[in-house]
Amino acid sequence: MKKSNIWGLLFTLLFCVMAVAFLIPSFRVYRESPEVQQEMLRENPRLGGQILNLGLDIQGGIRMVLGIDTSHATEEEKERIRQDENLMNRVYTVVENRVNALGLTEPIIQIEGNERLIVELPGLSDEEIARDMLSRAAQLNFHLVRSNENQRIQQILDNVDRALAVADHRGAEEDLPADELDELDELDLLDDEPVAEEDLEDLADDEYTATFSDLIYHIDEMSAQAPASAKPRIDSILALPGVQRALQGGVFRWSNIPEIRQQGGRTDTLRAENGSPIYRLYYLTAEPSMGGKDLERAEAMPAHQGIGYQVSLQFNPRGAREFGRVTGRNTGRQLAIVLDNTVYSAPNINERIPSGRASITGNFSREEAQQLAIVLESGDLDAPLVVEQATTVGPSLGRDAVRRALNAALFGLAMVLLFMVFYYKLSGLLAVCALLLNLILVIAIMASFGATLTLPGIAGLILIIGMSVDANVIVFERIKEELVAGKTVSKAIDMGYDRAFVAIMDANITTLFTAFILYQVGSGPIRGFAVTLISGIFVSLFTALVFTKMVYHFVIDYLGKKNALKKLSI
């Protein structure tokens, strides 16, 4: 028995075990109800990167096409919009920021042409919320960071805990200690208006911690840090009226990207124990120091020191006066750049800048500097966004479509199985085993890369069934021709695979080119189909040309009749 065949089959078995391991998290999540699924993903954020994501057409959601509204623009404004090469990048940044705030799994945002943006929001059912959030004007403001002392931030967190204790007592302040009541009254934290019943129920939920401070991962000189999994809880607490008074004229705003750390010479995302990425929570002045409407231009350029990139700013005359006033009064403090309530940067004010020309330095990479420049220019879009098309897919419709698609796949698989076993005997059964292995490996590959399965993707799986069987049919027919020509079984198998190789590769390579083109120019479901097809082509080549051949030789060698075997069940 050849060792190469044994090792080949062992590696194939290992791949099968790994494939099943990759699919176990998906089975664990999707066998539960949608509510339980969200709970599982919130408690274990790492799980979101281990499962096969479902597209909008399967789990339901909203698909919107956003366009630039030029109906009220003058000819001069329309011409400026047409010539603005960076306009859609700014629109993309604004929309991406708002979509991320929804906390959805695998949303899709894609620029189409020069004036449209396609947004897919899986799992969202309220179209009015989506319309309001995506079409409103962008808000760019500059806020001062409230404190450079972590003791003050800790004091604010303690105040929030006290206000939360009042809300948790449902207005029964007499149950609190007398000294605690005096301190709350002095800080104006005793809530005169009742807290909404649903808010109290959320606060009393046993799955959450009892204090605001317990949700905080770390505090430093300018902000606090908290895991993304705690964002919904923190936001709901900060929205309570009594808690807002506890902030003493300040507001907390999230950073747009998670924190990073240097470890072993490489950069990694800072994560909590449950795997959730850590975000910075800035404590800012509630009122902005100035708006972003007077910013004329922001541009990324190489830093003067020759290391990294910086962002150059240019204000109009009114903005220059305002910027000079703000920087002159607050030298040494940090000025946060806030787009739609999200902090993108908080540079230090080193000196008064009366000229209206400034630069933001920080050893940025080129991509980071370009992103910040786009954010700064996003506060003054030349034209508003309008929802040109909105489609809502209900989860029941998605489940019905999946059921029909799976029924079609199972019916096709059964017909293929019957035909192959009837026509090619035991060799046909081998082809069916290769086909099942093909499907398992393709789905596992998609799950391991966090790909999204859509209805066209399921169609791609059905197509893979036909492609995989087609390759096996070509091989089997070549083997039969060699047997008719008088070759031994072992020789016929080797020559059959050799003669079929070119035809199979030609067919799959041309299909592969088409799949790559679909992925490159397509969007949403079309890309899902292309990803499934590309994965299926590579796996079907392995199962048809390698796996089945190894099984043939393993059986021949195991029987010890390499030269004596006269008949093949084919």
Q: Give 209's contacts (C-beta < 8 A, 6+ positions apart).
A: 215
For residues 338 and 288, the answer to whether their CB atoms sit within 8 Å is yes
Task: Read off the pLDDT band of 484 (50, 70, 90).
Answer: confident
For residue 172, the 8-state DSSP code is -
Residue recorded with tokens 């098309």: 389
Average pLDDT for 415-420? 86
Task: Read off the pLDDT band of 566 (50, 70, 90).
Answer: low
Best mean pLDDT range from 40-44, 374-378, 504-508: 504-508
| Domain ranges across the chain | 3-37+394-559, 61-137+387-392, 143-383
- For 510-527, the pLDDT digits (tens) are 999 999 998 888 766 787
Helix (H) or strand (E) holding 283: strand 278-285
Please state which architecture CATH assigns to domain 61-137+387-392.
2-Layer Sandwich (3.30)
- For 130-162, the pLDDT digits (tens) are 787 777 767 888 999 986 555 677 888 888 888
Decide if pLDDT at 183 tops 70. no
In sequence order, what E strands does 303-377 have? 309-315, 335-339, 342-345, 357-364
Task: Read off the pLDDT band of 172 (50, 70, 90).
Answer: very low
The reported pLDDT for the residue numbered 143 is 92
The reported pLDDT for the residue numbered 6 is 74
The reported pLDDT for the residue numbered 326 is 92
Task: Read off the pLDDT band of 325 (50, 70, 90).
Answer: very high
Helix (H) or strand (E) holding 407: helix 395-448
- Cα-based distances in Å from 537 to 18, 194, 472, 545: 20, 62, 13, 12
For residues 453 and 52, the answer to whether their CB atoms sit within 8 Å is yes
For residues 284 and 251, the answer to whether their CB atoms sit within 8 Å is yes
- Residue 310 to residue 296: CA distance in whole angstroms: 17
Provide the whole-model pTM.
0.64
Length of the chain (residues):
570
- Residue 388 to residue 72: CA distance in whole angstroms: 16
Residue 222: phi and psi, rounded to 5, are -125, -5
Decide if pLDDT at 195 tops 60. no
Tokens standing for residue 471:
């390759």
Instruction: Return the sign of the alpha-carbon dihedral for residues 77, 79, 82, 85.
Output: negative
- Residue 188 to residue 561: CA distance in whole angstroms: 92
One-letter amino acid at 429 equals L
Residue 90: phi and psi, rounded to 5, are -70, -40
What is the residue-wise DSSP string for 193-250?
Answer: SPPPHHHHHHHT-TTS-SSSGGG--EE-SSEEEEEGGGHHHHHHHHTSHHHHHHTTTE
Task: Read off the pLDDT band of 169 (50, 70, 90).
Answer: low
Average pLDDT for 421-441? 87
What does DSSP say about strands 61-68 and 108-112: parallel, antiparallel, or unpaired? Answer: unpaired
- Residue 483 to residue 495: CA distance in whole angstroms: 10
Decide if pLDDT at 256 tops 80. yes
The CATH code for residues 3-37+394-559 is 1.20.1640.10
- State the angle between helix axes of 127-135 and 87-101 in degrees (0 to 180), rounded to the nearest 10: 140
Task: Read off the pLDDT band of 453 (50, 70, 90).
Answer: confident
Task: Read off the pLDDT band of 193 (50, 70, 90).
Answer: very low
566 CB-contact burial (10 Å; exposed 0-12 / middle 13-18 / buried 19+): exposed
Please state which architecture CATH assigns to domain 143-383.
2-Layer Sandwich (3.30)
Average pLDDT for 220-226? 81
The reported pLDDT for the residue numbered 191 is 45
Decide if pLDDT at 383 tops 70. no
Task: Read off the pLDDT band of 336 (50, 70, 90).
Answer: very high
- Residue 338 to residue 288: CA distance in whole angstroms: 9
- Residue 545 to residue 434: CA distance in whole angstroms: 10
For residues 317 and 356, the answer to whether their CB atoms sit within 8 Å is yes
- Residue 370 to residue 93: CA distance in whole angstroms: 11
- Residue 75 to residue 254: CA distance in whole angstroms: 39
- Residue 110 to residue 118: CA distance in whole angstroms: 5
The reported pLDDT for the residue numbered 305 is 67
Instruction: Return the sign of the alpha-carbon dihedral for residues 314, 320, 326, 327.
Output: positive
- Residue 1 to residue 206: CA distance in whole angstroms: 62
Average pLDDT for 255-260? 87
Decide if pLDDT at 299 tops 70. yes
